[in-house]
Amino acid sequence: MTAPFAQSTEINLKVNGERVRRTVDARRHLIDFLRLDLGLTGSHAGCEQGVCGACTVRVDGVILRGCLTLAVQLDGADVWTIEGVTETGELADLQDEFVARNALQCGFCTPGMLLAAADLLETGETPDRAHIREHISGNYCRCTGYEAIVDAIEATAAKRCGVPVPALKEAAE
């Protein structure tokens, strides 16, 4: 006879630098734990199938989909959401470029897109546009057409590496 399925489990982890200890349902997804239990609503529950990237968070330095990860899997982990990463100032220049280049519209994809972009920029290289597109390809945006997002990431990488920054494109008349 097998042991009964555990209904809830205590987890102990760090979220945005703060120690968190909670008892969670064994089947609760990370995105629901963050949003519903901790009130961190910056990451969004989009497709809930790991396809859209709206639920992207950083766990132990690696970005992953919060809708595909069970909260109980993260006992002992170091989790960073868009709120925490924003508070550190790590994304300030990237956020400025998103605004300057109109790389956000409805904002639903923006937190996941920023975390994916930050993951790419962490390498310290100046990726070409194809590499940028490939790296953010798991994050869907239905509003912008991606051009402005790629522009913003490209400009941020250039500034960080001290190379000439591509000029802002003029708005169509």
Q: Could you give the dihedral angle defined by the CA atoms of residues 51, 57, 58 and 62, in that order, rounded to the nearest 10 degrees?
A: 0
**CATH number where 62 lies:** 3.10.20.30
Residues spanned by the domain of 129: 89-161
Contact status, residue 25 vs residue 8, Cβ threshold 8 Å: yes
Could you tell me how many helices (H) and strands (E) the chain has, helices first? 6, 5
- Reported as a pLDDT band with limits 50, 70 and 90, residue 4 is low
Final residue of a domain: which of 61, 82, 103? 82
Q: Are residues 64 and 43 in the same domain?
A: yes
Range of lowest pLDDT (6-10, 27-31, 134-138, 154-158): 6-10
Q: Could you give the dihedral angle defined by the CA atoms of residues 60, 61, 65 and 68, in that order, rounded to the nearest 10 degrees?
A: -20
Q: Are residues 76 and 133 in the same domain?
A: no
Q: Give residue 164's pLDDT.
A: 85
pLDDT in tens, 6-48: 689 999 999 999 999 999 999 999 999 999 999 999 999 988 8
Q: Are residues 110 and 132 in the same domain?
A: yes
**What pTM, to 2 d.p., does this model score?**
0.89
Q: Which residues pair with 11 in a beta bridge?
A: 22
Give the residue from 120, 138, 134 showing the smallest Cα distance to 65: 138
**CATH number where 147 lies:** 1.10.150.120
Does the structure show a pLDDT above 70 at 119?
A: yes
Number of domains in the chain: 2
Does the structure show a pLDDT above 90 at 75?
A: yes
Final residue of a domain: which of 58, 82, 106? 82
Is 172 inside a domain boundary? no
- Reported as a pLDDT band with limits 50, 70 and 90, residue 165 is confident
Final residue of a domain: which of 82, 114, 134? 82
Give the residue from 62, 98, 107 showing the smallest Cα distance to 80: 62
Is 132 inside a domain boundary? yes
Q: Are residues 97 and 129 in the same domain?
A: yes
Is 131 inside a domain boundary? yes
Angle at 75 between CA 71 and CA 80, to 5 degrees: 70
